[in-house]
C-alpha cells in the first residue's frame, strides 16, 4: 500500500511542476514550430483539463492592463493540499 501512496504523491508532485513550467513558459515568447513550442503545447494539453475546473470559479485579475490567470495559483494550492494529505497517509 505504501508504494501506491508514494506513486500517487509522486504523480501529484510532477503534475504541480508541470503547471509551474506552463506558467513560466507563458511569460516567454515561443516561436511556432520550435521544440519549446511543442513542449508548451504538451504542457497545455496535460494541464488544461485540471485548470479549466478552477477557471470557472476564479476570475481573471487585471493588473496593469494585463490579464493574470489566477486559476493556476488556485490549482497549485489545491494540488499542494491534496499532495500533503496523500503524503501523510
Within 10 Å of residue 71's Cβ, how many Cβ atoms?
Answer: 20
Query: What's the distance, CA 75 to chain centroid?
Result: 7
The residue extents of the domains of the chain are 2-87
Distance CA 21, CA 16 (A): 9
Query: Residue 60 carries which DSSP code?
Result: P
Q: Rg for the chain (alpha carbons), in Å? A: 15
pLDDT tens for the chain, residues 1 to 89 = 588 888 999 999 999 999 999 989 888 888 898 999 999 999 999 999 999 999 888 876 666 666 677 888 899 999 999 999 988 87
**Measured between alpha carbons, how far is residue 73 from residues 12, 23, 69, 77 in Å?**
15, 9, 8, 6
Rounded to two decimals, the pTM is: 0.84
Amino acid at each position: 500500500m505504501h508504494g501506491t501512496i508514494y506513486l500517487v504523491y509522486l504523480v501529484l508532485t510532477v503534475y504541480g511542476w508541470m503547471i509551474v513550467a506552463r506558467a513560466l513558459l507563458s511569460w516567454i515568447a515561443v516561436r511556432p514550430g520550435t521544440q519549446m513550442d511543442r513542449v508548451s503545447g504538451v504542457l497545455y494539453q496535460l494541464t488544461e483539463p485540471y485548470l479549466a475546473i478552477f477557471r470557472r470559479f476564479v476570475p481573471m485579475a487585471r493588473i496593469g492592463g494585463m490579464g493574470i490567470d489566477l486559476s493556476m495559483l488556485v490549482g497549485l494550492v489545491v494540488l499542494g493540499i491534496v499532495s500533503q494529505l496523500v503524503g501523510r497517509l
